[in-house]
Chains A and B, each alone.
Chain A
Amino acid sequence: DAKTTQPNSMESNEEEPVHLPCNHSTISGTDYIHWYRQLPSQGPEYVIHGLTSNVNNRMASLAIAEDRKSSTLILHRATLRDAAVYYCILRGPWVRRGYQKVTFGIGTKLQVIP
């Protein structure tokens, strides 16, 4: 299974942008890059995902390197509510019988400083 590598922790000041990196040098051509985050005492929640092109949604942006061996989750303005563990995940493609593999990394613990 393709693995991901993330820094264990990062800090950001409130209302400043945050760039969370993820390395996935063994990614396959059909793996999608997903980001989830886990707030304290809660299950993980979906943030964003992409395949090759950069993606934006209301929560964040995802910048994917041209060779797809790394990606960066961008929170445009960090808030205290963004303090969480962020997981960079590779999800294999769906196949005929609905099978899908998910590999979780250790995650990056983001601390937001007021």
Chain B
Amino acid sequence: KAGVTQTPRYLIKTRGQQVTLSCSPISGHRSVSWYQQTPGQGLQFLFEYFSETQRNKGNFPGRFSGRQFSNSRSEMNVSTLELGDSALYLCASSLGEVRLTGRRDTEAFFGQGTRLTVV
């Protein structure tokens, strides 16, 4: 089956602009998480959505927002872009089923990311 798809793969924006990134999870997966990856900070958690509801949020300013649609596709928006927002943005999907056993279906599948450059 198709993997996690992120679009676009590359994006160049100017400071002050806003940007919307898209993530299509694996069919049947209901949980989508977003991460920001930079050389200095590593992989940082942004937020997680499950069944159209934000379940958890990392320590990022309110300029970073997201949403999830009924088909589990998710979008992430960054407003008033800053130079420091330049990063690889990764999306991960997982089944999101209610389980307490830590079985393999808790595995998260990552997309290849969107490389955002702010100039």
B113:A98 contact, CB within 8 angstroms = no
The total of interchain contacts (Cβ-Cβ below 8 angstroms) comes to 78
Interface string of B78-105 (1 = CB under 8 A from A): 0000000000001010101111101010
A43 near B102 (CB under 8 angstroms)?
A: no
Q: Are A100 and B102 in contact (CB under 8 A)?
A: no
Which chain B residue lies CB-closest to A50?
B102
Which listed residue, A50, A95, A100, touches B48 by the CB 8 Å rule?
Answer: A100
Given the complex, which residues of B lie within 8 Å of A95, measured CB to CB?
A: 98
User: Which chain A residues border B97 with CB–CB below 8 Å?
Assistant: 94, 98
A51, B102: Cβ atoms under 8 Å?
Answer: yes
Residue count of chain A within 8 Å CB distance of chain B: 28
Q: Is A106 in contact with chain B by the CB < 8 A criterion? A: yes
Q: Considering only CB atoms, which chain B residue lies closest to A45 in the complex?
A: B110
B51, B55, B98, B112: the one contacting A42 at CB < 8 Å is: B112
Nearest chain B CB to A32 CB, angstrom units: 4
In the complex, the answer to whether A99 meets B55 with C-beta atoms within 8 Å is yes
B42 close to A (CB within 8 Å): yes
B35 lies within 8 A of A91 (CB): no
Contact in complex: A98, B45 (CB < 8 Å): no
**Inter-subunit contact B110/A43 (CB<8 Å):** yes
A50–B103 CA distance with the chains assembled, in angstroms = 9
A107 near B106 with CB under 8 A, answer no
Residues of chain B within 8 A (CB-CB) of A41 are: 112
| Given known contacts A99-B56, A104-B42, A43 and B111 CB-to-CB distance under 8 angstroms | yes
Which residues of chain B have a CB within 8 Å of any CB of chain A?
4, 30-31, 33, 35, 42-45, 48, 50-51, 55-56, 90, 92, 94, 96-100, 102, 104, 106-113
